[in-house]
Chain A
Amino acid sequence: MKTSLKRELLDHGATVVGIADLRGYLSGEISHLDRAVSIGVDRKLNEDTLSLLMILQKRAVRFLKARGHRTLAIPPDSDRKKDTFISKLYSLFNHKMAATSAGLGWIGKNGLLISPRYGPRLSLVTVLTDARLRPDAPIERCLCGECMLCIEHCPSKAITGSEWSRSSPFVELVKLNTCRAHKATKRATDNKPNCGLCINICPYGRRNSDVKNAEYLVRNKIFIPA
């Protein structure tokens, strides 16, 4: 069942799909739905990432329900309607936690999910279920290595340089207030609310064959799988 679900989602535009075993990682209200289907879509490859994510999510829900399983679809962070009853429970859940548990990536120094192939450029959506899908192997710790690019380039110096691991997920990676304040200033001055330098600069998943970039990777022993 796991393979055919993955196949179906990948065939319909998902960039990556992983299954996570979240036993012990969920709060009581939702702990009976302890498998997560974590779906990632590359923002670079798709124009309308959000609607694609919603379509994929519905597909996963239909697939699982048709086989008699329960589902709880958690919408993307950027599209959370507040006027439904279920939306009260969304805050209990974190997409990145499911993605690392499903082996899609790790949490980088910039606090974002880093996929080894696509870098911090995935948008995520999750479907929780009670179906006994065989889980993928989680990624346990930060694999950014010696790379400091996002720290060096952060205009607000908000990135602390601490490293994430699954056993200590609550270390402060990014000083959120500093980051937010910077974005607020930017919004006020040039009307562009998003900064995103820590995404653009990340060598993982960058598709240009920039020599400088390649040198940098070698120098800092950053391993990028083919």
Chain B
Amino acid sequence: MVTEEKKTELLAKLRNAVIQYDEDTAKEAAQEALNVGMEANDAIFNGLVSGMVEVGKMFEAQEYFVPELLMCADALYAGLDILKPHVKQLDLGVKGSVVIGTVEGDVHDIGKNIVKMMFDVAGFTVYDLGRDVPLDKFVQEQLRTDSDLVCLSAMMTTTMTGMKKVIDDLRSRNPNVKIMIGGAPVSQDVADKYGADGYAKDATNALKDAINMIESLKKMKDEVEAKKAK
């Protein structure tokens, strides 16, 4: 059994590896965590993800800029690759699948990729359609995979309007599907107007999106459990 002391040490190591964008240390610490018998879930959420949350704060405070943010995400992924095969069913308790993509005409996919990563972490099956995705493709893919959730991203006001069409189409085919939207021009107002279920706030900061997304996921989980309880 792993001692509390060792556990604290390894969590700090994972966390700092992400903050210090040090891929090698992230891998090393992840392997060490497995070797001493730590729970992979613990290592991911209290180590790697906790580091990424700190990175989000530093980004907001303009201590870190885009390159640092991206390198931190790479370090997180490096550790995640090692830990993920050992995850005993996901922490958040939401089992599900999600279709994700950047809408037609839009090639900005860094934000989308980071959000996708968070879904990966949470144990979702992710169907990533990539960027500049034809609007029909979202509907087709949702029907094909019977996913619970569709996530749309747009970084430009000109492409954002495509989301409305996707949402309408999805609703008419499948009223139960959950839809989340995100991206720089998107706001809660837009989400309400377009009829989306969820909205990931402030997407110029892709990371905040991802963190908000986790919060949204937790909310979803609570809803699911509330339903079960009935």
Q: Mark A residues whose CB is within 8 Å of B.
A: 29-30, 32-33, 58, 65, 70, 72, 84-86, 88-89
Chain B nearest Cβ from A59, distance in angstroms: 12
| B113 closest partner in A (C-beta) | A85
Q: Are B20 and A85 interface neighbours, CB within 8 A?
A: no
Contacts A/B (CB < 8 Å), 24 sampled: A29-B65, A29-B66, A29-B67, A30-B67, A32-B65, A33-B67, A58-B24, A65-B20, A65-B22, A70-B68, A72-B67, A72-B71, A84-B70, A84-B74, A85-B73, A85-B74, A85-B113, A85-B114, A86-B67, A86-B71, A86-B74, A88-B70, A88-B110, A89-B70
Q: Give chain B nearest CB distance to A98 CB in angstroms.
A: 15
| Residue of B22, B24, B70 touching A85 (CB-CB under 8 A) | B70
| Contacting pair B110 A85 (CB below 8 A) | yes
Contacts of A30 in B (CB 8 A): 67
Query: B22 — which chain A residues lie within 8 A by C-beta?
Result: 65
User: In the bound complex, how far is the Cα of B68 from the Cα of A85, in angstroms?
Assistant: 10
Shortest distance in angstroms between A108's beta carbon and chain B's nearest beta carbon? 31
A86 and B20 in contact, given A29-B65, A32-B65 (Cβ under 8 angstroms): no
| CB-defined contacts of B113 to chain A, threshold 8 Å | 85
Q: Report the minimal beta-carbon distance from A74 to chain B, rounded to whole angstroms.
A: 10
Q: Report Cα–Cα, A203/B16, bound state, in Å.
A: 49
How near does chain A come to B23, taking the closest CB pair, in angstroms? 9
B66 touches A89 (CB 8 A): yes
Complex CA gap A119/B144 in Å reads 58
**B residues near A65, Cβ cutoff 8 Å:** 20, 22
B164 shortest CB reach to chain A, Å: 29
| Interchain CA distance A84-B78 in the complex, whole Å | 10
In the A-B complex, the 9 residue pairs with the smallest Cβ-Cβ separation, listed nearest first, are A85-B70, A86-B70, A84-B74, A85-B73, A29-B66, A72-B67, A86-B71, A85-B74, A30-B67
Which B residue's beta carbon lies closest to that of A85?
B70
Cα–Cα distance between A29 and B70 once the two chains are bound (Å)? 11
Q: Measured between alpha carbons, how far is A176 from B52 in the docked complex, in Å?
A: 42
Distance (whole angstroms) from the CB of A36 to the closest CB of chain B: 14
Query: In chain B, residues 65-92, which have Cβ atoms closer than 8 Å to a Cβ of chain A?
Result: 65-68, 70-71, 73-74, 77
**In the complex, what's the smallest C-beta–C-beta distance from A134 to chain B, in angstroms?**
23
Question: What residues of chain A lie closer than 8 Å to B67, measured between beta carbons?
Answer: 29-30, 33, 72, 86, 89
Q: Once bound together, how far apart are the Cα atoms of A65 and B74, in whole Å?
A: 17
- Name the residue on A nearest B65 (C-beta): A32
Chain B residue contacts of A86, Cβ below 8 A: 67, 70-71, 74
Known contacts A58-B24, A86-B74; can you find 5 more A-B pairs with CB under 8 A? A32-B65, A65-B22, A84-B70, A85-B73, A86-B71
Q: Which chain B residues border A33 with CB–CB below 8 Å?
A: 67
Residue on A with the closest CB to B76? A85
Residues of A within 8 A of B68 (CB): 70
- How many Å from the CB of B53 to the closest CB on chain A? 17
Inter-chain CA distance A29–B71, complex, in Å, is 13
User: How would residues 90 to 123 of chain B score, 1 for a CB under 8 Å from any chain A CB and 0 otherwise?
Assistant: 0000000000000000000010011000000000
